[in-house]
Amino acid sequence: MISIFTGVAGLRTYQRAVDVIANNIANVNTIGFKSARVSFAEALAQTLRAGSESGTNPMQIGLGVGVSSIDNLMNQGNLKSTGSPTDIAILGDGFFVLSDGSSISFTRNGVFQLDGRNHLVAASNGMHILGWIADPTTGAIDSTTNVDASTAITIPIGTQLAARQTANATYQGNLDAGQDPAAPVETKFTIYDSLGAPHQLSITFTKSALTPNEWTWSVSSPDGASADTGTITFTENGECQNGTISFTLTLTTPGGAAADISIDADLSAVTQFVGSTTAQAVTQDGLPVGTLQSFSIDDLGLLTGVYSNGMVQPLARIALAAFTNPAGLSKLGSGLYTTSPNSGDPIIKPPNVGANGTLAAGFLEMSNVDLAHEFANLIVTQRAFQANSRVVTTADEMLQDVLTLKR
């Protein structure tokens, strides 16, 4: 009897549905897990009579049910705070890009750690996290280049940042408009040569006795000399008209470093008002040798290193991949996905660019499984399974009655 096979098709189909629901429930605490949903469709239909122009409709008997699709539900899971700086959650769309050295996979599981070679890797499988690496000297990041297995993110904790010779300085503060021309104002700050050695530098400002809004400047240092001097002038409103002054300090004993240190000092923020003299150098871009001590990750995926010499410099930027149809990705297990013909190619961009989401360091995205919804589906599916089993037993009883007609 057809009804027996129809009931068996229903049993088989609803068993598949229970399998999917069971997997969802089993992964209720899996980091970054995306639940699945089963959709059903009528199987074949047997046509007993076709429709006709005389007004009769087609006469057909359905031959059961089947699974039409098992869809991944890619909606956002709740976030859990962990406090670990290498745990990262994605807010919105996007996937982390991972590589095992030969192939690329994608994941929402942000449990990362540093391996023995200071690579940022997935804690579950050791795959490298991909992104864009900063220039070690300038910290510049070009996120327009392609991401591949060679762009694994490295955080070189304990490595040294090369020394940087001072080339620029910035002054702020005030030069007293009532300053005695016979009492020069000396300002001191520390600069660094090409090997990172510090040198004390003084710029002395002397107010002109003849021109009220004019000052002369000269440079001196116990470690060298400079022949450069000049003047700066102010408007009647106390604004500096010069902007930048340039000079070169020649070291007496360079000790292997470049003998000449050329510096541009920005004075555009210096004023001349009646009051205390507070002008001083507030920044200079030279550095001694420094060691990377710690790092942080912001919501745009930028990894910033903090060095022992006070330098704060970008190290890398994490890449995220977006897909036209993320539900079309194929699961590989362990929270990994790969592309399929229906997912589209990955569009790899920095966080918050295009369809990519933003990041939250110190958090993890939990499973998006809704337990109440899954248990409700489990009850409905169980009842459907029972109903289909009753169809089989009823058809069996009818067949038994047929076999007993001859008695």
Q: Looking at residues 296-310, what average pLDDT do you find? A: 91
Residue located via tokens 């690579």: 119
In 3D space, the residue among 34, 93, 104 whose CA is nearest the CA of residue 351 turns out to be: 93
Q: Judge if 372 and 345 occupy the same domain.
A: no
pLDDT digits (tens, 9 = 90+) for 145-181: 888 878 899 988 887 777 889 999 999 999 999 999 9
In 3D space, the residue among 70, 65, 39 whose CA is nearest the CA of residue 385 turns out to be: 65
Number of domains making up the chain: 3
88 with 110: CB under 8 angstroms? Answer: yes
How far is residue 191 CA from its own chain's centroid? 36
- Give yes or no for residue 407 having a pLDDT over 70: no
- To the nearest whole percent, how much of the chain has pLDDT over 70? 99
Q: Looking at residues 336-340, what average pLDDT do you find? A: 94
List the domain range (segments joined by +) for residue 35: 2-74+368-403
In 3D space, the residue among 337, 267, 324 whose CA is nearest the CA of residue 107 turns out to be: 337
Q: Cα–Cα distance between 7 and 385 in angstroms, integer?
A: 9
Q: Judge if 154 and 301 occupy the same domain.
A: yes
- Give yes or no for residue 60 having a pLDDT over 80: no
Q: What pLDDT is attached to residue 41?
A: 84
**Residue where a domain stops, chosen among 284, 306, 321:** 284
Q: Judge if 305 and 235 occupy the same domain.
A: no
Residue-averaged pLDDT of the chain: 91
Q: Judge if 101 and 203 occupy the same domain.
A: no
Q: Judge if 295 and 154 occupy the same domain.
A: yes
- To the nearest whole percent, how much of the chain has pLDDT over 90? 67
pTM of the model: 0.76
Q: Judge if 393 and 330 occupy the same domain.
A: no
- Give yes or no for residue 137 having a pLDDT over 90: no
CATH code of 180's domain: 2.60.98.20
Instruction: Provide the angle, in degrees to the nearest 10, between the axes of the packed helices 371-403 and 2-26.
Output: 160
pLDDT digits (tens, 9 = 90+) for 251-271: 999 999 999 999 999 999 999
Q: Looking at residues 242-255, what average pLDDT do you find? A: 94
**Residue where a domain stops, chosen among 263, 284, 305:** 284
Q: Judge if 58 and 33 occupy the same domain.
A: yes
Q: Judge if 155 and 297 occupy the same domain.
A: yes
Q: Looking at residues 126-136, what average pLDDT do you find? A: 92
**Residue where a domain stops, chosen among 234, 253, 284:** 284
Q: Judge if 178 and 252 occupy the same domain.
A: yes
Q: Check residue 102 and report its DSSP letter.
A: S
Q: What pLDDT is attached to residue 1?
A: 66
Q: What pLDDT is attached to residue 259?
A: 94
Higher pLDDT, 46 or 187: 187
What number of CA atoms fall less than 13 Å from residue 353's CA on the CB side? 14
Q: Judge if 153 and 298 occupy the same domain.
A: yes
| φ, ψ dihedrals at 179, nearest 5° | -65, 140
Q: Judge if 194 and 272 occupy the same domain.
A: yes
Of the given ranges (42-56, 125-139, 150-164, 294-308), which has the lowest mean pLDDT? 42-56
Q: Judge if 372 and 361 occupy the same domain.
A: no
